[in-house]
Amino acid sequence: MSKFMGLSSLAISCLLFVSTIVAATDVQYCNNNEEYEVNVKGVDISPYPIARGEPATFSISANTDTEISGGKLVIEVSYFGWHIHSETHDLCDETSCPVAIGDFLVAHSQVLPIYTPPGTYSLKMKMIDGRKKELTCIKFSFDIGFGSSSLADI
């Protein structure tokens, strides 16, 4: 009986650990009245909270009613309301192009510098097609942890 209890405790511990590795975050559209061609279903961030100096992946699940041959992702990051970072990525580097009608996934991985301050950040992402038409615009918050699992910090 104690062997079963030990295994079930280990299983519960593993499930709790895995649930902290990936987190879905609340997403809002930049303009709730806008009819975007790309509808975002959700954003998953892994690991969560993000560890400084280690890779973090933002996976955005979305749906479109039109084929997208290419475009850009424009990302703006704020910290305590202050704009601190902007970057632009080719959409086809973050997902398979052309994007077919239906569901698709945009995934971006990045290593944040070890000196990145911990706390809550706001991210705004616009998806723009090749003709510079805004396909969607979302915003969400994410946390960067106080520690890093890197041995270099010990």
Q: pLDDT by residue (tens digit) across 57-83? A: 999 999 999 999 999 999 999 999 999
The pLDDT score that the predictor gives to residue 22 is: 58
Q: Determine, yes or no, domain membership for 41.
A: yes
In the block, residue with structure tokens 């910290």: 79
User: What's the sign of the alpha-carbon dihedral 63, 41, 76, 37?
Assistant: positive
Tokens of 58: 């933002």
pLDDT of residue 19 exceeding 80, the answer is: no
Q: Determine, yes or no, domain membership for 152.
A: no
CATH of the domain at 111: 2.60.40.770
Range of the domain at 104: 22-147
> Residues 79-105: pLDDT tens digits?
999 999 999 999 999 999 999 999 999
Q: Determine, yes or no, domain membership for 97.
A: yes
Q: Determine, yes or no, domain membership for 5.
A: no
pTM, rounded to two decimals: 0.78
> Residues 38-48: pLDDT tens digits?
999 999 999 99
pLDDT of residue 149 exceeding 70, the answer is: no
Q: Determine, yes or no, domain membership for 29.
A: yes
Q: Determine, yes or no, domain membership for 51.
A: yes
Q: Determine, yes or no, domain membership for 4.
A: no
Number of domains in the chain: 1
103-107: Cβ within 8 A, 24+ apart: 103/41, 103/61, 103/62, 103/63, 104/61, 104/62, 104/63, 104/64, 105/59, 105/60, 105/61, 105/62, 106/59, 106/60, 106/62, 106/73, 107/57, 107/58, 107/59, 107/60
